[in-house]
Chain A
Amino acid sequence: MISFTINDREVTGQEGWTILEVAKWHGIDIPTLCYHGAVEPYGACRLCVVEVDDGQQRRLVASCLHPVQEGLKVQTDSERVKNVRRWILQMMVDEHPGSQRIKELAKSYGVKESRFKSDRVEDLCILCGLCVRACDEVVGARAISLGNRGVRKEVATTHRLPSPECVACGTCLYVCPTGAMEQLFDRIRG
């Protein structure tokens, strides 16, 4: 058993558990977007960041991936944490104004009206990669992957053609946090 603190509260977790898992166990809320218990964590959205102090250094880590450590002091809502989340959500709302889930999260972190607005309002994909991981790890079909780099990154099939591997199971629809897959699904399934 490993004991440490979350928001000054003594907690314990098993070796190999992540901070997020222990927090959930103890009913401490940490927002997530690219995490799902059914697939390997990926660490892409960074919404789950928490501030940790290991006695040498204070820094922010992704709680969905960071293993628990004896004596670690975790803060889930420090100013630095809030600043990161506010900006992630600010940029996501500006880029994907159509997603209800993001709108709600954004509201709770004090996100403001912004002069930076996306010209592709219908685009809902936040590239969390949940569909890709679920298709690979849960279904085993590997019909989709994340292609391209940087701002051009996208969920895609090989050559952007309908995927022969797709079994139309709909798992991706289920895990997608924003509803983006509903627009993509027909193109993948063919």
Chain B
Amino acid sequence: MRQISTALKLDENRLASPAALAAYRESILAERDPNRPIIIVCHGTGCLATNSPKVADTLRRAIAAAGLQAQVVPEIKTTGCHGFCSRGPLVIFHPTGLFYQRVQPEDVEEIVQTTLLEGKPVERLLYVDPNTGEHIVHDHDIPFYKYQQRLVLRNIGKIDPADIRDTIAAGGYQSLAKVLAGMTPEEVIAVVETSGLRGRGGGGFLAGRKWRLAVENVRKSPGPVYVVGNGDEGDPGAFMDRTLMEGDPHAVLEGMIIGAYALGAQQGYIYVRLEYPLAVRHLSVAIEQARALGLLGQNILGTGFDFDIKINRGAGAFVCGEETALIASLEGRVGEPKTRPPYPAEKGLWNRPTIINNVETWGNVPQIIEKGADWFAGMGVPHSTGTKIFSLVGKVNNVGLVEVPMGITLGRIVEEIGGGVPGRDEFKAVQTGGPSGGCIPWELKDTPVDFDSLTRVGSMMGSGGMIVMDKRDCMVDVAKYFLEFLMDESCGKCVPCRMGLERMHAMLGEFTMGKGSLEDLDELHSLAEGIKDGSLCALGGTAPNPVLSTIRYFRDEYEAHILHKTCPGKVCRELITYAINSELCNGCTLCARECPAGAITGVKKKPHEINSSLCIKCGVCFEVCKPEAVEIL
């Protein structure tokens, strides 16, 4: 565990009242020199993997060795993920916002010399806009950040998540203090209701309404009640919840404590995906520190309110993120979904009313309390208020985690924040909503990204996955890819999902081989509708989306496979052949040396040839050929 809790001397007094929290914050701020420069070295999961701890260490040592004068010795801070992991490790200088990307320990000496001593940027470490070629100096000018509206992520990348004083200095737990100092549970619920906050975990149910239902159920049947944070995040490629739990764990805790107060719960659980050890660690540290300060545990802020949170490691299956399966798993049973109703708000954990919300949903709560329901409802669009975090991946220049106001168009996310498509290929589609989302064709790029608009075009918000696809993607293959994932994740309880996903996958497999008929395509469509209608839980209920949306918008591609035995995206192996264009080939022999099947022959400096009966269609020649002489037919 990195220099945690040492940061917080645990003999510091528990805060005995909401006013004591404010005083504590003042004392932290007073201790800090607002003019002291800070160098932020990203310590999110992505940058950790690309050597950021070594960068931070080297920086610390180099700064000490450089003998900088006392008042300018920068503080080095390790923070959570900045969302731009593909450019990591990131090093950012505050207060200027000077932004360096892909920094390695070897670069440190030059950084100290040029930037710290001479006050100039190191050109080669700056971000280069792939579209204009321009070197950009400051983080706020980089298009990836410029068009974002970071509210849930506001502290991430600024605070050290392992030091609660950083959180408190940034305003953390103020909303809790406000609630405990003078709001009734009813008032809290009313604020959340008016804000229009909808669940960020997939279903998009109104959080305030869910809380209200739970409270009514408690009234009807008094007894223990629970709050749960869903941090299971099983979507491949998604990392919004991980980033939040790792980078600003207190935001999640604070939201849950406020929710617990509204409901009258004394115990909460955060269910964290098995593969997120850093999130578990940061949350554990955050819980420990919050307890030490009296922000969690017994008699919170001296107001007599008791509430504590336990962390549970996920069971490792995608379906365990489904709320009824998650509850079963928390109770120690097999993580399998149950038919709803009853909903958790009526019969959840141990058959008691339970509010289960996604961790991003919880992370929104403190600011709604702080700035008010109207402020929140004023952002986004009428039925989808506030912001949403997306994980933008695929064929775009800037991949990463972005937070934008609801209702922004797909096209703006992809073109302005994503910086467009790399290379010469054109956009084809954007897949949203995780594995069981739908593919939205590029013609619909003006679709506003909100819960209802995405559903209307046959996709969904899901938890915020966004995969950009270009002309080199085959939509039949894409559908098959997602089905493969979902099929493996089906819990197997209900027949439409257990057998149906396997059957859809088999039918898609036939199409990718050029087999099947148009009647089979109609059958696939009716099977997809049947699974959607008939499945027990939303895994099976949404799993047909990739199939239905691609048939709806890319029927021509299905027909090309079935009728013409061609794959327009040039992906499906059975339907493509590799050939060398003799006019472009310069006879460099590279492809012949790389081909694992020995299918390429030719004399040096003379055009080469591919023997298609030996070719295994691995595509290596296509990748390595410099003059782009290899063609896919």
Instruction: Spell out A's residues near B (CB within 8 Å).
Output: 43-47, 49, 59-60, 62, 65-67, 80, 83-84, 86-88, 91-92, 95, 116, 126-127, 148-153
Q: Please, how many angstroms separate the alpha-carbon atoms of A80 and B500 in the complex?
A: 16
A155 to chain B, nearest CB (A): 12
Chain B hits for A153, CB < 8 A:
492-493, 498
17 contacts between A and B (CB under 8 A): A43-B338, A44-B495, A45-B494, A45-B495, A65-B339, A66-B339, A80-B533, A84-B534, A86-B530, A87-B500, A87-B527, A88-B496, A91-B495, A91-B503, A149-B317, A152-B492, A153-B493
Q: Please, how many angstroms separate the alpha-carbon atoms of A149 and B489 in the complex?
A: 8
Q: Please, how many angstroms separate the alpha-carbon atoms of A116 and B70 in the complex?
A: 77
Are B492's CB and A46's CB within 8 A?
no
Q: Please, how many angstroms separate the alpha-carbon atoms of A127 and B487 in the complex?
A: 17
B293 to chain A, nearest CB (A): 42
Are A148's CB and B530's CB within 8 A?
no
Are B529's CB and A62's CB within 8 A?
no
Chain B's closest residue to A112 (CB) is B523
Cβ of B341 within 8 Å of any chain A Cβ, yes or no, is yes
Q: Please, how many angstroms separate the alpha-carbon atoms of A60 and B494 in the complex?
A: 14
Are B488's CB and A150's CB within 8 A?
yes
Chain B's closest residue to A41 (CB) is B339
B151 to chain A, nearest CB (A): 32
Chain A hits for B339, CB < 8 A:
43, 62, 65-66
14 A-B pairs besides A88-B496, A116-B506 with CB distance below 8 A are A43-B338, A44-B493, A45-B495, A46-B535, A49-B534, A60-B534, A87-B500, A127-B492, A148-B492, A149-B317, A149-B490, A150-B490, A150-B492, A153-B498
| CB under 8 Å from chain A, chain B span 468-483 | none
Supposing A84-B530, A84-B533 touch, asked if A149 and B492 sit within 8 A by C-beta, the answer is: yes
Chain A hits for B526, CB < 8 A:
83, 87
Are B530's CB and A83's CB within 8 A?
yes
Chain A hits for B365, CB < 8 A:
none
Supposing A67-B341, A91-B503 touch, asked if A84 and B496 sit within 8 A by C-beta, the answer is: yes
Cβ of B103 within 8 Å of any chain A Cβ, yes or no, is no
| CB under 8 Å from chain A, chain B span 522-577 | 526-527, 529-531, 533-536
From B487, B495, B527, give the contact of A46 (CB < 8 A): B495
Q: Please, how many angstroms separate the alpha-carbon atoms of A129 and B317 in the complex?
A: 21
Cβ of B600 within 8 Å of any chain A Cβ, yes or no, is no
Q: Please, how many angstroms separate the alpha-carbon atoms of A91 and B593 in the complex?
A: 48
Supposing A65-B339, A152-B492 touch, asked if A87 and B534 sit within 8 A by C-beta, the answer is: yes
A184 to chain B, nearest CB (A): 18
Cβ of B633 within 8 Å of any chain A Cβ, yes or no, is no
Most buried by A among B495, B498, B527, B533: B495
Q: How many A-B residue pairs lie within 8 Å, measured between CB atoms?
A: 86
Supposing A149-B317, A151-B487 touch, asked if A49 and B498 sit within 8 A by C-beta, the answer is: no
Contact with A along B60-93 (1 / 0, CB 8 A): 0000000000000000000000000000000000
Q: Please, how many angstroms separate the alpha-carbon atoms of A45 and B535 in the complex?
A: 9
Are A44's CB and B536's CB within 8 A?
yes
Q: Please, how many angstroms separate the alpha-carbon atoms of A153 and B496 in the complex?
A: 14
Are B492's CB and A151's CB within 8 A?
yes
Most buried by A among B506, B529, B530, B533: B530
Contact with A along B278-316 (1 / 0, CB 8 A): 000000000000000000000000000000000000000
Q: Please, how many angstroms separate the alpha-carbon atoms of A127 and B495 in the complex?
A: 9
Are A46's CB and B498's CB within 8 A?
no
A17 to chain B, nearest CB (A): 14
A18 to chain B, nearest CB (A): 11
A21 to chain B, nearest CB (A): 15
Are B503's CB and A43's CB within 8 A?
no
Q: Please, how many angstroms separate the alpha-carbon atoms of A62 and B535 in the complex?
A: 9
What are the nearest 8 A-B pairs in CB distance?
A: A153-B492, A84-B534, A87-B530, A91-B499, A43-B339, A150-B492, A60-B533, A46-B534
Chain B hits for A126, CB < 8 A:
495
Cβ of B491 within 8 Å of any chain A Cβ, yes or no, is yes
Chain A hits for B527, CB < 8 A:
87
Q: Please, how many angstroms separate the alpha-carbon atoms of A87 and B341 in the complex?
A: 25
Are A150's CB and B491's CB within 8 A?
yes
Q: Please, how many angstroms separate the alpha-carbon atoms of A149 and B534 in the complex?
A: 19
Chain B hits for A92, CB < 8 A:
495, 499
Chain A's closest residue to B502 (CB) is A151
Chain A's closest residue to B507 (CB) is A116
Q: Please, how many angstroms separate the alpha-carbon atoms of A149 and B491 in the complex?
A: 5
Q: Please, how many angstroms separate the alpha-carbon atoms of A62 and B317 in the complex?
A: 25
Q: Please, how many angstroms separate the alpha-carbon atoms of A184 and B335 in the complex?
A: 26
Are B499's CB and A95's CB within 8 A?
yes
B324 to chain A, nearest CB (A): 11
Most buried by A among B488, B499, B529, B535: B499
Are B496's CB and A83's CB within 8 A?
no
A107 to chain B, nearest CB (A): 18
Most buried by B among A62, A67, A87, A148: A87
| CB under 8 Å from chain A, chain B span 365-396 | none
Q: Please, how many angstroms separate the alpha-carbon atoms of A86 and B533 in the complex?
A: 12
Chain A hits for B536, CB < 8 A:
43-44, 46, 62
Q: Please, how many angstroms separate the alpha-carbon atoms of A150 and B502 in the complex?
A: 10
Chain A's closest residue to B526 (CB) is A83
Chain B's closest residue to A88 (CB) is B495
B475 to chain A, nearest CB (A): 23
Are B494's CB and A151's CB within 8 A?
no
Chain B hits for A83, CB < 8 A:
526, 529-530, 533
Chain B's closest residue to A126 (CB) is B495
Chain B's closest residue to A45 (CB) is B495
Q: Please, how many angstroms separate the alpha-carbon atoms of A45 and B502 in the complex?
A: 16
Are B490's CB and A151's CB within 8 A?
yes
Q: Please, how many angstroms separate the alpha-carbon atoms of A7 and B487 in the complex?
A: 35
Chain A hits for B490, CB < 8 A:
149-151
B486 to chain A, nearest CB (A): 10
Most buried by A among B493, B527, B535: B493
Q: Please, how many angstroms separate the alpha-carbon atoms of A31 and B599 in the complex?
A: 58
A65 to chain B, nearest CB (A): 5
Q: Please, how many angstroms separate the alpha-carbon atoms of A151 and B533 in the complex?
A: 20
